[in-house]
Amino acid sequence: MNIESLGFVEICGAVASIVVADAMVKASQVRILSESRLDPGLLTIVVEGDLGACVAAVEAGARAARAQGCLVATLVKGKPDPAIEALFQPAPRTPAPAAVPPAAPGADAAASPRLRRAAAPPAPTVPDAMPGDAVVAFVAAAPQGRTLAALAAEFKVGLRTARGWVRVLVAQGRLERFNRGVRRPSGPDPESGTGAP
């Protein structure tokens, strides 16, 4: 893929992203390359085309976003380095798990181990490098909780890694999600047996 120019419009809100993307592709000859979600509710629409088309599309997208009250930032990048093309390649698809055939009428579902495995989702596993107690302590230190960005900055990891840690700790009941972040749940900590401060 040889990208001539890229246009970026960053906005708040999934519904607004549809309005903005529609305005961008209707304004000029561009194609939507991707929609990146960096944080819940914060999206970046990326289009590609020639430089003039990207400028026109970004201007139209910015106007639509301003009308919705959700514009965060815009950027037009002419002749981007080929190394950033990898950012916009579709991720390889993993094959879907094989479907479990339906049980015969009158058959006991508990008798089939294959049906038992398909019915119970796997329990989340804790990554080896996850400092679970340190993450819980960091979140508990702020009564209002912490955002994923604050966790990522504190532990010097990416947002994806911080999101994985939070997912595991929420599944374990050690943290709970609220608004745009996480906090300690009220009640005892299932791992340590101590209550939240």
pLDDT in tens, 148-162: 788 888 888 887 888
Better pLDDT: 42 or 187: 42
Secondary structure of residue 106 in the 3-state scheme: coil
**Domain range annotation of the chain:** 5-88, 124-197
How is domain 5-88 classified at the CATH fold level?
A: Alpha-Beta Plaits (3.30.70)
| pLDDT of 31 strictly over 80 | yes
Calculate the alpha carbon distances from 108 to 100, 101, 119 in Å: 15, 14, 14
- Select from 62, 65, 58 the least CA-distant residue to 13: 65
pLDDT in tens, 166-192: 888 888 888 888 777 788 887 654 454
Architecture of the domain whose range is 124-197: Orthogonal Bundle (1.10)
Q: Can you tell me the distance from the alpha carbon of 66 to that of 101, in angstroms, rounded to the nearest whole number?
A: 51
| pLDDT of 136 strictly over 80 | yes
Q: Tell me the whole-structure pTM to 2 decimals.
A: 0.46
